[in-house]
Chain A
Amino acid sequence: MTQQLRLAILFDGQSAELNKSYPLHEESDSIKISSLKFYLTNIEILDKDGQVVETCPDALISLEDSSHFYLCQFRDWKASNRLRFTLGVDSLKNMQGAIEGPLDPINGMYWSWQSGYINFKFEASSPIIPTKKNKLQLHLGGYQYPFRSDRAIEVSLSHKMTVFFELRDFIDAIDLKTDHTEMSPSKESVILLNKAQKSFKSL
């Protein structure tokens, strides 16, 4: 029997939507998301012994397309126990030259002034963000020490075979008044990617 591995982007447990006002917990204000894109690469399904039973193709996830994504289909789902993937693009693929498909630089997730994929792109606006037009722009990436920011993630898989990215967790983890503009590999970018890493879970 085949099963599909899926990813869902949630906000407070519900399917996340672009350009919808979401309340902020500790403020009387709200936040509106205009863009959320990230790479999931090196996706592997593991059995209970940690052996790889399936691999899935690299994926560019964009909330502009949907909040629910099909990652891949595999046969022996009963053997599947855990999911391992990379949030972002590893240094090997960053050094490989032009790659077609989801990693094609045409997808707007590659810096042009210096080499490297943008692992995670998050853009939003909120009255509490102290920038022009109250905009937040986080373009997080970097493949070289000390700003390497691809993150390995491993979660257990239930029969639902779905991994979730909870946007509320990520937004609560960052300080919107200070963490609002990152456009190049940096120490701050690494810290923010760590917070994005912690926002993945499975039910």
Chain B
Amino acid sequence: MKHSLLILAIFIVFVLTAFQLRSIKIWPSYFPDPHYSIPNQKEDSLKIAYGRMLFYDPILSKDNSISCASCHSPYNAFAHTDHELSHGIGDSIGLRNAPALFNLAWQKELMWDGAVNHIDMQALAPLESKSEMGETLENVVRKLNKHKFYRSRTFEIYGDSVLNGAQLLKLLSSFQLTLQSYNSKYDKVRLGIEKFNEQELNGYQLFKTNCDGCHTEPLFSNYKFERNFLPLDSVLNDVGRFRITQIGSDSLKFKVPSLRNLSYSFPYTHDGRFNSLYEMINHYTSETTNKNFKVNDLKPIILTENEKVDLVSFLLTINDKDFVFSPKHQFPKELLNK
């Protein structure tokens, strides 16, 4: 009897531990540990829901016309398809292409130039940029604290109906940290559920030989700052990482974007200058870029036309349709009753 009880106790501890681990670690086993702790869908559900409402509410902009989702649409993997540069209040145009938002928990520094050192602080940049939302944190908090809809939600979470700036920023990051994308065909192949076809497999080999150094699996970015060898746009005059570090070698370096969800997130690059994957691949395989690779001790990328097709075929396997069309990330209906 004693023996049976002991076995039962060990079994219960094992099940509870396994369950606990599963409830905390929700990303695939082949993913590295995230840089930020990801909010718990159950315990933090009110904060995530509040952050989602804020993300979709144009109240965050000066004239109440632009929300975060205006430039980060869920149907574009939270990028802005067909728009080279971000749009702001009064038809103003920003400096850079609105990046796709997913797997942010694995990105220590945010923005194309790494200007933002913590995900909590990221929202401040578009919020207070004159060519984006044109607001101040102080005024947004004032507007929210006047609003009965938000006051009751603030009270529900904090036991006080007055929101402060830090809480607002953390609510937005809570929601954005839940934007996780790892349900593509590639992921299913990694889990042994599906298989690549011959063309995809060939594309995968080409990818590993030529692209994986910067667009490292499984996130498909090393999230470092690298040169893309695109000529400086003389109108935008965007020097990238140099603006932040003032270090000469950082000139024209930009954060390596993830290649997940490319079908939904065009145009590509920091200034949205390429509309198609073929334009992008042609840039990296061009004679000019290969000369730049050589000067910088990088391996040239030489692909035949057929190989380019195979590479694209593989890249399409890292589209995550489930993520892009997931209702839990979309416009929250509660806002309609605000």
What residues of chain B lie closer than 8 Å to A103, measured between beta carbons? Answer: 166
In the complex with contacts A106-B137, A112-B129, A98-B115 CB distance below 8 A: no
How far is it, in angstroms, between the C-alpha of A182 and the C-alpha of B127 when the chains are bound?
Answer: 23
Question: Which one of A95, A96, A104, A112 has the greatest number of beta carbons of chain B within 10 Å?
Answer: A112
- B166 and A114: CB pair below 8 A? no
Q: Find chain A residues with CB under 8 A from B138 CB.
A: 106, 108
Complex CA–CA separation, A100 to B121 (angstroms): 13
B129 with A106: CB separation less than 8 A: no
Instruction: Say yes or no for A1: interface residue by CB 8 A criterion.
Output: no
Residue of B nearest to A115 (CB): B117
Contact of A98 with B170 at beta-carbon distance under 8 Å, contacts A106-B137, A115-B118 already known: yes
Known: A113-B115, A114-B115. A98 touches B165 (CB 8 A): yes
Q: Assess the A105–B166 pair: CB atoms within 8 A.
A: yes
Q: Which of B120, B125, B127 contacts A98, CB < 8 Å?
A: B120
- 1/0 per residue, CB under 8 A from B, across A80-98: the answer is 0000000000000011111
Contact A106 B164 (CB under 8 A): yes
The residue on B at minimum CB distance from A95 is B117
Q: How far is the CB of A104 from chain B (nearest CB, A)?
A: 5
Chain B residue at minimum C-beta to C-beta distance from A185: B246
Q: Which of A99-149 contact B (CB under 8 A)?
A: 99-100, 103-108, 110, 112-116, 147
Determine the main DSSP class of B at the interface with A. helix
Interface-centre pick from A103, A104, A108 (highest chain B CB count, 10 A):
A104
Report the minimum CB–CB distance from B88 to chain A (whole Å): 14
- Are A105 and B165 within 8 A (Cβ)? yes
Q: What is the CB-to-nearest-CB distance from B170 to chain A, in angstroms, rounded to a whole number?
A: 5
CA A107 to CA B246, docked complex, whole Å: 27
Query: Nearest chain B CB to A139's CB is how many angstroms away?
Result: 14
B250: Cβ under 8 A from any A Cβ: no
* A95 and B110 alpha carbons, distance in the complex (Å): 13
Residues of A within 8 Å of B119, CB to CB, are 97
Q: Give the shortest distance, in Å, between B74 (CB) and chain A (any CB).
A: 24
CA distance A147 to B117 in the complex (A): 16
Q: Is the CB of A100 within 8 A of B117?
A: no
Contact present for A97 and B129 (CB under 8 Å): no
Residue B167 interfacial (CB < 8 Å): yes
**Would B124 and A104 count as touching, CB distance under 8 A?**
no
What sequence of 0s and 1s flags, for each residue 131-169 of chain B, a beta carbon within 8 Å of any chain A beta carbon? 000000110010000000000000000000000111101
Q: A100, B166: Cβ atoms under 8 Å?
A: yes
User: A46-100: which residues lie under 8 A (CB-CB) from chain B?
Assistant: 94-100
CB distance from B240 to the nearest CB of A (A): 13
| Neighbouring B residues of A115 by C-beta, 8 Å | 115-118, 121
Q: How far is B141's CA from A108's CA once the two chains are assembled, in angstroms?
A: 13
Instruction: Verify if B244 is at the interface (C-beta below 8 Å from A).
Output: yes
Chain A residues with CB below 8 A from B164, complex form: 100, 104, 106
Chain B nearest Cβ from A112, distance in angstroms? 4
Does chain A have a CB within 8 A of B212?
A: no
CB distance from A39 to the nearest CB of B (A): 15
Contacts of A97 in B (CB 8 A): 118-121, 169-170, 173
Q: How far is the CA of A105 from the CA of B116 in the complex (A)?
A: 13
B169 interface neighbour in A98, A113, A147, A186, Cβ under 8 Å: A98
| Chain B residues positioned under 8 Å from A108 (CB to CB) | 138
A186–B138 Cα distance when bound, in Å, is: 27
B128, CB-defined interface residue at 8 Å = yes
Given A98-B166, A112-B128, A113-B129, verify A105-B115 contact (CB < 8 Å). Answer: no
Cα(A47)–Cα(B117), bound, Å: 37
Q: B129 — which chain A residues lie within 8 A by C-beta?
A: 112-113
B244 contacts which of A95, A110, A114 (Cβ < 8 Å)?
A: A114
Q: Contact: B137 with A94, CB < 8 Å?
A: no
**Interface residue ranges of A142-191 to B (CB < 8 Å):** 147, 186
A104 x B170 contact (CB < 8 A): no
Given contacts A96-B118, A98-B170, A147-B246, 5 further A-B contacts (CB under 8 A): A97-B118, A98-B121, A106-B141, A106-B166, A113-B115
Which 5 pairs of residues, A with B, have the shortest CB-CB distance?
Answer: A106-B165, A97-B120, A112-B128, A98-B166, A98-B120
- 15 A-B contacts (beta carbon < 8 Å): A95-B117, A97-B120, A97-B170, A100-B167, A103-B166, A105-B121, A105-B124, A106-B141, A106-B164, A106-B166, A112-B127, A113-B115, A113-B129, A114-B116, A115-B117
